[in-house]
């Protein structure tokens, strides 16, 4: 497990940790890093849990896979609901305040899942910062209302390709995951990402106002090559 660090300018001095794509994996590598150096705030940008009750929400058209869907399904592993997601959330909340947005693997949440603060197409204020979560099951009316609010606005948006679709460049900071770093990285580029296909545009790193994490787990039958799992530390300094 690696740590990747980014510095941003903002209205407060604070350190955030961005965690994506845990997929009910092994919590210990992440928790060890966080306990050694606790942040001020933990931000989970989707796919922390595995919740697959199809039909519980309508799937937006652009979340459906393309003609590559058969290949994607062949390579994807079935991730079990092991309970490690809830264990992980409980542990995170003992380290720092934890906010959680919804990814495409979280079709529903059970009552016992409501451990962190869930931002499901909603926003809150934290020490003068506005932090909102655009779920994979997006609500464009909420997004436009959030866009018009004053102050420094951070948007948790699991799927980085939504940056183009919803013109998210006017937010101060967008935090994403979903692409798993492109699974295999060659010459600094990811090979494949769900929803983006081969040679995806957004896989890992900083793209203008958007930071994309490569995520903490492997959910494909093929290994992650030249693409270690990671957490992201974001150090905000006052402008």
Q: Which helix (H) or strand (E) holds 32?
A: helix 28-36
Residue 235 near residue 39 (C-beta atoms within 8 A): no
Distance CA 61, CA 224 (A): 28
The first and second tokens of residue 55, run together, are 């039909």
Distance CA 173, CA 124 (A): 15
Residue 194 has what pLDDT?
A: 86
The pLDDT value given to residue 67: 56
Q: In the chain, what are the domains?
A: 2-238 (3.60.21)
- Enumerate residue ranges in the chain where pLDDT < 70: 54-56, 58-80
**What pLDDT sits at residue 239?**
76
What are the structure tokens assigned to 161, written together? 């390709």
At 82-92, the pLDDT tens digits run 778 999 999 99
Residue-wise pLDDT for 52-103, tens only, equals 876 667 666 555 555 555 666 666 666 667 778 999 999 999 999 999 999 9
What pLDDT is attached to residue 222?
Answer: 85
DSSP β-bridge partners for residue 230: 2
């Amino acid at each position: 497990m690696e740590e990747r660090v980014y510095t941003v300018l903002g209205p407060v001095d604070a350190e955030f940790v961005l965690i994506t794509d845990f997929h009910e994996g092994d919590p210990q590598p992440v928790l060890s890093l966080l306990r050694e150096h606790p942040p001020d705030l933990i931000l989970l940008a989707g796919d922390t849990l595995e919740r697959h009750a199809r039909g519980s929400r309508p799937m937006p058209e652009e979340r459906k896979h393309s003609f590559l869907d058969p290949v994607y399904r062949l390579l994807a592993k079935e991730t079990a609901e092991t309970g490690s997601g809830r264990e992980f959330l409980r542990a995170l909340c003992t380290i720092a305040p934890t906010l959680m947005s919804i990814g495409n693997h979280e079709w529903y949440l059970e009552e016992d899942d409501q451990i962190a603060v869930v931002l499901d197409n909603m926003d809150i204020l934290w020490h003068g910062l506005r932090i909102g979560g655009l779920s994979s099951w997006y609500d464009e009316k909420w997004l436009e209302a959030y866009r018009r609010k004053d102050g420094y606005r951070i948007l948790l948006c699991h799927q980085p390709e939504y940056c183009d679709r919803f013109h998210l460049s006017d937010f101060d900071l967008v935090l994403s995951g979903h692409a798993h770093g492109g699974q295999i990285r060659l010459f600094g580029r990811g090979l494949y990402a769900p929803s983006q296909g081969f040679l995806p545009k957004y896989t890992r790193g900083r793209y203008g106002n958007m930071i994309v994490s490569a995520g903490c787990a492997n959910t494909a039958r093929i290994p992650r090559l030249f693409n270690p799992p990671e957490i992201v530390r974001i150090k905000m300094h006052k402008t």
